[in-house]
């Protein structure tokens, strides 16, 4: 998000608002378990013809490692991980 602000030459007011908003978020730190799960999920996807962008598999791995649901509107991108790994999705009713 800060890259977006940089590329769009945001001014101090908008950058300050972004910093304030980012400061209100909970950040999940990486862990050995998340890294292990990322490798497992990524490898499984490649073996089953379901390669994904690294960021998608990293988010799923962090959620699994922390036993957290993954919020998405792209349910189809994660349905197989729900079935294979028990990933819980929050979809907002979509």
Reading the chain (94 residues) residue by residue, the pLDDT tens digits are 899 999 999 999 999 999 999 999 988 888 999 999 999 999 999 999 999 999 999 999 999 999 999 999 999 999 999 999 999 999 976 5
The answer on 46 and 18 residing in a single domain is: no
Number of H helices, E strands in the chain: 5, 2
Query: Do 20 and 49 belong to one domain?
Result: no
Query: Which residue range(s) make up the domain with 43?
Result: 32-90
Judgement on whether residues 53 and 24 belong to the same structural domain of the protein = no
**The pTM of the whole model exceeds 0.85:** no
78 and 38 in a common domain? yes
Write the CATH number for 64: 3.40.50.1010
Q: What is the total count of domains within the chain?
A: 2
Query: Do 12 and 40 belong to one domain?
Result: no
What CA–CA distance (Å, rounded) separates 53 from 68? 20
- 43 and 3 co-located in one domain: no
Q: Tell me which residue has tokens 């940089």.
A: 6
* C-alpha distance from residue 56 to each of 37, 47, 68 (Å): 12, 17, 15
Tokens found for residue 3: 């890259």
């Amino acid at each position: 998000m800060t890259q977006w602000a940089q590329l769009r030459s945001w001014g101090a007011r908008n950058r300050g608002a972004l910093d304030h908003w980012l400061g209100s978020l909970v950040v999940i730190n990486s862990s050995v378990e998340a890294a292990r799960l990322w490798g497992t999920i990524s490898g499984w996807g490649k073996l089953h013809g379901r390669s994904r962008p690294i960021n998608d598999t990293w988010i799923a791995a962090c959620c699994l490692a922390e036993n957290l649901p993954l919020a998405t509107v792209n349910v189809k991108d994660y349905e197989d991980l729900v079935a294979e790994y028990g990933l819980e999705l929050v979809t907002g009713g979509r």
